[in-house]
Amino acid sequence: MFDKEEKLQALADLIEGKVVDDSARVEACIKGTVLGFPATIEAMRVGFPFGCSFFLETDVLNENKSKKSSGEFTLTVSHRLVTGFWAKFSRILLVDHTDKPLGMKKFDADYIAKTNDDEQALRFVQYPSMIDKLLLLSQYTNFTELHVRSGYGVVLVQPTSIEKLDLDTVRETFRVFGDIAQVVFEAF
């Protein structure tokens, strides 16, 4: 039997945080820290079919809260629906119609990237061991989308409900996710 409060508290302990009552917006909200970055786990509902999202804010110095800039780098990474030989047919049928390769074959074979700055996106993907971190996140969570926004943070949207989350998987996910946030903080 699933004990909601026990599971939320266990997740809060993983990110050195606490369960926050934000019931007007979401059913589950947990706030804490990972590698010094403010971290949040949120889910509209804790059970199936609702997944949960992981957030890491990299604006720890509050540099971007006061000024809204349209010049920041944004990147959204999602899995490619069809790969290999059938990818050409999927483009004709508009399955992956927004496909715009970044120029790194290992990344472009598995992921679709939407960005406002192709040069920065390629720099991010080519950052040392970044492709390995993305592959690890894919393996751990099978994420739907990974959003990177310079100066603000990183968001991971994944399909597993809080009810079905494995604590060891969440621990490893936040370890890798924290490394990605550190790169965004330092280099972007």
Q: Please state the length of the chain.
A: 188
Determine the 3-state secondary structure of 95 from DSSP.
Answer: coil
Q: Strands of 37-43's sheet, edge to edge?
A: 18-19, 28-34, 37-43, 52-57, 153-158, 145-149, 74-79, 111-115
Q: What is the pLDDT of residue 118?
A: 87
pLDDT given at position 178? 92
CB of 52 closer than 8 Å to CB of 35: no
Q: What is the pLDDT of residues 122-164, one digit of tens each?
A: 899 999 989 999 999 999 988 989 999 988 899 999 999 998 9
The pTM (predicted TM-score) of the whole model is 0.81
**CA separation for the pair 45, 57 (Å, rounded):** 22
Domains in the chain: how many in total? 1
For residue 84, what pLDDT is reported? 58
- For residue 48, the enclosing domain spans 4-187
Residue 37 tokens read as: 């970055």
Per run of 10 residues, the mean pLDDT along the chain (length 188 residues) is 86 92 90 93 90 89 59 84 57 56 80 88 90 91 90 91 91 92 87
> Tell me, what's the pLDDT at 71?
64
Alpha-helical segments (H) within the chain = 4-14, 87-92, 105-108, 118-126, 130-141, 167-187
